Structure 1
Amino acid sequence: MGTTHEQFNVGGMSCSFCAESIKKAYSRTDGVEDVDVSLAHEEVLVEYDDERLTGVEVKDTLRDLGYTIRDPDKAKRYEQQQAELADGKRRLLFAGGASIVVAALMGWMIVVMGRFESVSLAMDIVTLGLALGTMFGPGRYIKKKAYQSLRRGIFNQHVLLEAGAFAGLVGGLLGLFVFPSFPTVHFFAVSVFITTYHILSEYTSLIVRTRASQAVQGLLDLQPDTARRVSDDGGVEEVPVDDLDVGDRVRVKPGENIPVDGTVVEGASTVDESVATGESIPEEKSTGDEVIGGSVNETGTLLVEVTATGEDAFLNQVAREIEEARAMKPGIIQLADRVLKYFVPGVLSIAGLSFLFWVVAPLAWGADPNVQRGAFAALAVLVLGYPCALGMATPLALIRGGGKAADRGILMRSGDAFQIFPDVDHIVLDKTGTITVGEPAVSEVVAFGADEVDVLTTAASAEAFSEHPLADAILEFADEQDVEYADPDDFDSVTGKGVRATVASDDVLVGKPGWLSDEGIDLSKGSDDIERLQGHGLTVAGVVRDGDLLGLIGIGDEVKSDAAATIQRMRDAGITPVMITGDNERTADAVAEEVSIDRVMADVLPDEKREEIGRLQDEGHRVAMVGDGINDAPALTQADIGIAIGAGTDIAIESADIVLMGDRLGGVMDAYEIGNESYRKTRQNLATAFAFNGVGVAAATTGLVHPVFAMLAMVLSVSAVLANSFAGQLLSGEGVNTEFALDDRTDGERGDGRVTAD
């Protein structure tokens, strides 16, 4: 017994004010020691004393607030999200229909009848029914949230909405039964309109969230469901991976994913470990070497002894790192919510003071207390205080900026990305697949006593039957250079070292310099070039014909064509670029020098990447992280803004706030510029909306503002925000792109956990 952690995926959060309400509720719950809330990923991590609080009570706090706890199973969670979306749509259709009817009735009264006051008792009853139906039908869940928040002393947007909605309801009832001069229909109409607006706002937020990728399960899908377990007598049986124990032995054939973490006890092969390191060049594995579950066995058959299972396995550790980083990611209070933090209690206080003023102040000049005017003033303040345009300012900026970004192949998944990007001062970039292309390619051919074509022809002929990725790079380069080569007469692959072949009666060796030396080849004339190429982070393959060193081929991961220019754009914007990689220091330094990055972190494991991001944040920096691999996912989640290369793994995409749908690095700074512009629009929208609300509330305190004018002000403020958000875009002919769909790929395009950008 002692401290326990519980992590929940929560439905019903629509803005960072919801996240703050959850934090406040738990902070006032006896036994809760700490709580972290991630709005972007809708997750809550609660740390509590299980001797003072039970798990059921922890969950009940969320449920009491009106939020739902989704199923831990990711497939079922996705179904629940879709069900929430369907419920939201039904609420919106009902409330929207009621609003249309009320608007038509009001239009008939004002335009046809030319009057503001009620026309008949029948119309009063109809609008009352619509108000009650909207508030206690589709809007019932809002009341539950408002009640539970008030019960805990939390003043949030739900409280303000219900204050305005009930003010309209009370005002209409007063006009119906107490003060005939009260505009009954218009007060009831207010209740309908602001409830509908809030439902629309939450539905828009829900759409943005549920259209994001549901690909966390893609991480665990890399690990096979079954494995070939080898018994002591040599028998082989296929068993579920979950049934494996430490010490069991499994056989892995070429082309298969390695099912578990383990140690090679028999065989030799090349293994693609990009799942862990992100590096494109595979590692040579033989007896005694460790292998990682989820990596790909490429060339030979391996017998692997299991060293870790369950929660101790590498992929499960990464999944846990991601989930913890999500829940503990520093919370961002949206600019609109910071305004609401003071605006909500301010409006409630002003309403109460307005009523007291018109009841008490007349006594000062010898008049009778004006209860009717006080009530009208208080109700009008609550009605005008509900910030329709204020609440729309951020979503509209998100839609506008998101559409513009989508036109450039950038998916802005989170409103946080717009708010935080202007404050980012460090951008941390993964190397392989981010700064570089992510595939081995020939960078240089050096010839000794022959021309480069001869070296390349000889090497390509010798490697023609090889399945090694470095051989593929040589053959691809030969094809690009239109070099003709023939199949070898004899071929032998020496695992982890190179190949031996007979080409046109010549004995040819292509492989590592160390292996060539062991074969008695004199490398003295190439020693300087070998050192130079390796100093640039290249893998060197020597080409030997009939015992003579013919040349060298340097193979590496090419830097993207726009990488250097993008790094310069970062510097021009006052942002410090940092490179972080699991590759060795020599290779990392070579790439960093080519693109002019001064700060380099090499030989870094996935959990260490996250720690490095955390250290930068602890120093007071705002940090963006750019990556494409599973090994980058925890760091992408930890960063203030995670940016995934869309040609990378699904789990990296799922962990990010921004996704570049191609592999162009320049999209990072495009997103930065769009984020800056969108946040500027948000501030302008908020200033416009707050001006309408501020002036309206001040005017309402006089008790002379008719509800219809309150609604007109609401329409004008929303129209002004809309115009500011989209007028320039529409005039420029850009159009408004409101599509936020992430996953337009077919299943066949990601069978290996990666996607291909068009």
Structure 2
Amino acid sequence: MARKRYPGIAAFEPELIRGALIGAVLKLDPRSLVRNPVMFLVEIGGIITTLITFAGLASPAAGDVFFSGMVSLWLWLTVLFANVAESLSEGRGKARAASLRESRAAVPAHRLREEAFGAQADEVASSDLRQGDLVLVREGEIVPGDGEVVKGAALVNEAAITGESAPVVREAGGDRSAVTGGTTVIANEIIVRITAEPGQTFLDRMIAMVEGAERRKTPNEIALDILLLSLTAVFLLAVGNIYPASAYSAAASGTGAPVGPVVLVALFVCLAPTTIAALLPAIGIAGMDRLFQRNVVALSGRAIEAAGDVNVLLLDKTGTITLGNRQAAEFVPVEGQSRADLMEAALLSSAADETPEGRSIVALIREKAGADVTCPPGAKFIPFSAVTRVSGAECHGTTYLKGAADAVVKAVREHGGTPPPDLAAKVTGIASAGGTPLVVARGPTILGVIYLKDILKTGIRERFSDLRRIGIRTVMITGDNPLTAAAIAAEAGVDDYLAEAKPDDKLRLIRGYQNEGYMVAMTGDGTNDAPALAQADVAVAMNSGTQPAREAANIIDLDSDPTKLLDIVEVGKEILMTRGALTTFSIANDVAKYFAIIPAALAGVYPRLAVLNIMGLATPGSAILSAVIFNALVIPLLIPLALAGVRFRPMPASQLFVYNLIIFGLGGVVVPFIGIKVIDLVISGILPAGG
């Protein structure tokens, strides 16, 4: 069935641009802008130069007014461009949140007085429900709030939340018991225990996160903010000392004049790390939006950043590394028995077995027989039991069984039979090859073994190889025996595995890696996964899982696809790479601005600095203005990169460092030289000679 996705929300749709422009103007409020100290100081500089411009309107020095007015204009545009970047990324989140709000409307709920389908029910509004209330949800009704199914099973349409049009089963007593408010029951009826208070539901948290309302700065962002603030403080002190130094030099030499306030403001703005300061807020918000495009909701910004630093991945075998359904691959008769008898017994014991494994056995028999095969009438199916660990059928007084080796051997001995001497070797051989052996018996006679094979997901080995190249260790977790686990781990290409894993084993494994200094990520969907999810640095819960698993996680996969963990790590890496790349570019492009603005600002007092004008800029005024204009224009030019992110490339850290230095470091040096020179050529004929 085709997947229904959320409507595409492009970064530059006209409606979003209009909203971003309005938001950018509103963010000029100093109380809002003070959260970004660098841009706050640029705004103060804009205020100073604007006041100087208005004061100079009464003066006959029209050239000075034109120059200060142009500097003021481009300083205000610098702040506006920075605000537009943040507003655009926030706007996409708000647009997505608006579509989610449609699922949050109040609906009637049938609140039960006891946990029974025939119990008396009171009709109340969903907003009146409280944690612990029991509600009955019938076919065609909307689930009134987040909860867990405590009785019954139903088909639920979760398209309003996940974008997935195919209905899913939600039932009591398993790992698929959680339901989300706003979804619709389309078949059968269920009793749900409400697990969240109004305003605290999963949907409320999703809306808050995609809007950015609850997004807090991550440790990496805080550290980068401290670096930017430190650089800004250094440049502020340096520029502040230029005026007295230039005044002293001018007085001592009798030539030139002290550097004016407009030039000092322009010098500070060009030297401060304005580019990365302008784009930094947008990078994190856009990263969360990219996750949402993959139907993944991060419940904290810290979780996304941690995903970028992950160096150990714990992955379940079933559904993540393998397709999840073992398939019959071969029939292996024991010595003295024929393959035809084994296939006949396998058919009789599997004909009524509706599990994927049972259906695959019947399909393989039909393929090998070359014709349609059927079970004779009168056969009585023996369902699988957790106690006996076998299933089968009774036909014409004969019992046919298939199941775990030790369970079938026990049943055969109870019927007076003896296991053949080569059975153990055949069972061990299949397990060693990564398969699951199912022993088949007819009455007291064991006929052979069915080889069930776990099918690896396409491309999974290559993805693990990519992760290994960037230093991420992959660990497969499975309940299989060590022989089977080792074979599948080798075939999949994971670095390590944990066999016969229990909840305590997972928790100990995570703590062990963390004690060694690793950042650990894992997926889970069951109640027994909750302790390990709570311990992991990045915990991805399946939306189809239990409420305890979802509450313990910091990232929710709406598609319930465990392989999304690999995508989450890639997005986390992209955010870190984008920050690093734009920081490198921002610092590197200051080099060109040094050669443009420093000789222009100081050559009048220190004539020897004119030798630094290697770009041959026309006049001091055009040089300063060119640097200011380039400093402003580079921000909107980099907005698409900040929103889309630097594409993840699986490569070692040293190679990635060199790549960033060449592309963004060298590029950050070269591009401004070209840009400033081109701008100077354009404006040199406009700016009055005295500027």
Confirm or deny: 8 A CA contact 1:567 1:596 kept in the other structure: yes
Q: Distance in 2 between matches of 1:465 and 1:475?
A: 10
Q: Distance in 2 between matches of 1:295 and 1:512?
A: 32
Aligned sequence identity (%): 20
CA displacement at 1:186 relative to structure 2: 0.6
Report which stretch shifted further, 182-191 or 591-600: 591-600
Residue-by-residue CA offset, 1:295-335 (whole Å, 9 max, x unaligned): 79xxxxxxx999x97479xx999x99xx99x9999622388
Q: Distance in 2 between matches of 1:206 and 1:401?
A: 11
Confirm or deny: 8 A CA contact 1:637 1:655 kept in the other structure: no
Q: Distance in 1 between matches of 2:471 and 2:593?
A: 37
Aligned to 2:555: 655
Of the three residues 39, 56, 59, the one matched with 1:175 is 56
- How do residues 151-550 of structure 1 correspond to structure 2 at under 5 angstroms? 156-177=37-58, 180-184=62-66, 185-206=69-90, 235-236=118-119, 260=148, 294=177, 310=195, 331-333=219-221, 337=225, 339-359=227-247, 361-365=249-253, 373-385=259-271, 387=273, 389-391=275-277, 425-442=311-328, 444-448=330-334, 449-452=336-339, 455-478=342-365, 484-489=372-377, 490-496=379-385, 497-501=389-393, 507-513=399-405, 516=408, 517-518=410-411, 520-521=414-415, 522=417, 524-525=419-420, 526-530=423-427, 533=430, 540-550=437-447
Residue-by-residue CA offset, 1:418-467 (whole Å, 9 max, x unaligned): 99888654344333322222233335532234455653454345433333
Aligned to 1:597: 495
Matched AA of 2:419: S
- How do residues 600-615 of structure 1 correspond to structure 2 at under 5 angstroms? 600=498, 603=501, 605=503, 613=510
Matched AA of 2:442: R
Asked if 1:712 is matched to 2:603, the reply is no
Q: Aligned to 1:549, what secondary structure does the other structure show? A: strand
- How do residues 565-644 of structure 1 correspond to structure 2 at under 5 angstroms? 565-580=462-477, 588-589=485-486, 591-594=488-491, 595=493, 597-598=495-496, 600=498, 603=501, 605=503, 613=510, 616-617=513-514, 619-623=516-520, 625=521, 627=523, 629=525
Q: Distance in 1 between matches of 2:220 and 2:285?
A: 19
Q: Distance in 2 between matches of 1:648 and 1:293?
A: 5
Matched AA of 2:473: T
Q: Structure 2 length as normaliser, TM-score?
A: 0.58
Q: Aligned to 2:27, what secondary structure does the other structure show? A: helix
Q: Aligned to 1:170, what secondary structure does the other structure show? A: helix
CA displacement at 1:183 relative to structure 2: 3.5
Q: Distance in 2 between matches of 1:659 and 1:690?
A: 45
Report which stretch shifted further, 434-443 or 453-462: 453-462
CA displacement at 1:375 relative to structure 2: 1.7
Aligned to 2:586: 686
Q: Distance in 1 between matches of 2:508 and 2:99?
A: 24
CA displacement at 1:643 relative to structure 2: 8.4
Matched AA of 1:486: T
Q: Aligned to 1:559, what secondary structure does the other structure show? A: coil
Report which stretch shifted further, 669-678 or 192-201: 669-678
Confirm or deny: 8 A CA contact 2:306 2:572 kept in the other structure: no
Q: Distance in 2 between matches of 1:329 and 1:396?
A: 12
Aligned to 2:650: none
Q: Structure 1 length as normaliser, TM-score?
A: 0.54
Q: Distance in 2 between matches of 1:229 and 1:90?
A: 52
CA displacement at 1:294 relative to structure 2: 1.0
Q: Aligned to 1:560, what secondary structure does the other structure show? A: coil
Matched AA of 2:177: G
Q: Distance in 2 between matches of 1:419 and 1:345?
A: 27
Matched AA of 1:159: F
> Measured at CA, do residues 656 and 640 of structure 1 come closer, stay the same or move farther in structure 2, by a change above 3 Å?
farther
Q: Distance in 1 between matches of 2:625 and 2:304?
A: 30
Q: Distance in 2 between matches of 1:542 and 1:252?
A: 43
> Measured at CA, do residues 246 and 477 of structure 1 come closer, stay the same or move farther in structure 2, by a change above 3 Å?
farther
Matched AA of 2:326: P
Matched AA of 1:294: S
Q: Distance in 1 between matches of 2:515 and 2:499?
A: 17
Residue-by-residue CA offset, 1:205-234 (whole Å, 9 max, x unaligned): 3256568899999xx9xxxx87998779x9
> Measured at CA, do residues 381 and 639 of structure 1 come closer, stay the same or move farther in structure 2, by a change above 3 Å?
farther
CA displacement at 1:193 relative to structure 2: 1.4
Matched AA of 1:550: L
Q: Distance in 2 between matches of 1:446 and 1:214?
A: 58
> Measured at CA, do residues 536 and 692 of structure 1 come closer, stay the same or move farther in structure 2, by a change above 3 Å?
same
> Measured at CA, do residues 479 and 680 of structure 1 come closer, stay the same or move farther in structure 2, by a change above 3 Å?
farther
Confirm or deny: 8 A CA contact 1:681 1:724 kept in the other structure: no
Matched AA of 1:446: V
- How do residues 135-150 of structure 1 correspond to structure 2 at under 5 angstroms? 138-145=24-31
Residue-by-residue CA offset, 1:543-570 (whole Å, 9 max, x unaligned): 2335432222244643335444544454
Q: Distance in 1 between matches of 2:333 and 2:573?
A: 47
Report which stretch shifted further, 458-467 or 529-538: 529-538
- Point out where structure 2 has 5 or more consecutive residues left out of the alignment: 1-5, 153-170, 180-189, 605-618, 647-691
Residue-by-residue CA offset, 1:484-536 (whole Å, 9 max, x unaligned): 32145223343524444356886533344565434734361234444555677
Confirm or deny: 8 A CA contact 2:523 2:562 kept in the other structure: no
Residue-by-residue CA offset, 1:313-368 (whole Å, 9 max, x unaligned): xx999x99xx99x9999622388646523232233333432344445554445689
Q: Distance in 1 between matches of 2:633 and 2:332?
A: 67
Superposition RMSD on alpha carbons, in Å? 6.7
Residue-by-residue CA offset, 1:403-430 (whole Å, 9 max, x unaligned): 9x99xx9999999999988865434433
Q: Aligned to 1:621, what secondary structure does the other structure show? A: coil
- Point out where structure 1 has 5 or more consecutive residues left out of the alignment: 1-77, 95-136, 150-154, 268-284, 297-303, 730-735, 741-758
Tell me the matched-pair count. Answer: 563
> Measured at CA, do residues 421 and 720 of structure 1 come closer, stay the same or move farther in structure 2, by a change above 3 Å?
farther
Q: Distance in 2 between matches of 1:578 and 1:462?
A: 36
CA displacement at 1:597 relative to structure 2: 2.7
> Measured at CA, do residues 485 and 635 of structure 1 come closer, stay the same or move farther in structure 2, by a change above 3 Å?
same
Q: Aligned to 1:437, what secondary structure does the other structure show? A: coil
Confirm or deny: 8 A CA contact 2:478 2:500 kept in the other structure: yes
Q: Distance in 1 between matches of 2:623 and 2:98?
A: 45
> Measured at CA, do residues 196 and 611 of structure 1 come closer, stay the same or move farther in structure 2, by a change above 3 Å?
farther
> Measured at CA, do residues 718 and 653 of structure 1 come closer, stay the same or move farther in structure 2, by a change above 3 Å?
farther
Residue-by-residue CA offset, 1:166-214 (whole Å, 9 max, x unaligned): 2442342233245644244313422441132112221343256568899
Q: Aligned to 1:509, what secondary structure does the other structure show? A: strand
> Measured at CA, do residues 676 and 543 of structure 1 come closer, stay the same or move farther in structure 2, by a change above 3 Å?
same
Matched AA of 1:143: D
Q: Distance in 2 between matches of 1:542 and 1:529?
A: 10
Q: Distance in 2 between matches of 1:555 and 1:352?
A: 76
